[in-house]
Amino acid sequence: MKKKEYIFEMKSAQLILKPEPDIKKVYLELSSRCNLDCPMCFKNTFTDPEGFMTKKTFNKVMEDLKEFPEVEHIVFGGIGECSMNPHFFEMVKRVKEEGYMLTVTTNGYFLNDLQILKLIDLKIDEMVISVETGDVGHPSFKYVRKLLEKIDNYKKQKNTGKPALSIETVLTEKNHNDFPGIIQTLLPYGIRKVVISNIIPVYEHFLGLELYREDSKEKDLMLRKQISDAVTAKVSAIIPNFRLKTERHCNFIENNATVIRWDGEVVPCYRFLHDGIEYVYGQKKEIRAYSFGNVEKKSLYEIWTSKDYSWFRYKVKNALFPSCTDCDLKDGCHFIENTDLDCWGNTPSCADCIWWRNIIMCP
Residues 132 and 297: their CA atoms lie apart, in Å, by 39
pLDDT, residue 132, reads 76
- CATH number for the domain whose boundaries are 18-357: 3.20.20.70
pLDDT, residue 136, reads 55
Q: Which long-range contacts (CB under 8 A, 24 or more apart) does 272-275 make?
A: 272/339, 272/348, 273/29, 273/32, 273/78, 273/79, 274/32, 274/43, 274/46, 274/47, 274/48, 274/79, 275/46, 275/47, 275/48
pLDDT, residue 182, reads 86
pTM for the full predicted model: 0.95
Taking 50 as the pLDDT cut, the residues of the chain under it are none
Burial 143-155 (b: 16+ CB within 10 A, else e): ebbebbebbeebb
Q: Are the CB atoms for 225 and 42 separated by under 8 Å?
A: no
Residues 174 and 209: their CA atoms lie apart, in Å, by 7
Q: Are the CB atoms for 290 and 259 separated by under 8 Å?
A: no
The pLDDT tens digits of the residues spanning 56-98 come to: 999 999 999 999 999 999 999 999 999 999 999 999 999 999 9
Residues 169 and 196: their CA atoms lie apart, in Å, by 5
Give, to the nearest 10 degrees, the angle between helix 113-121 and helix 139-157: 50
pLDDT, residue 138, reads 59
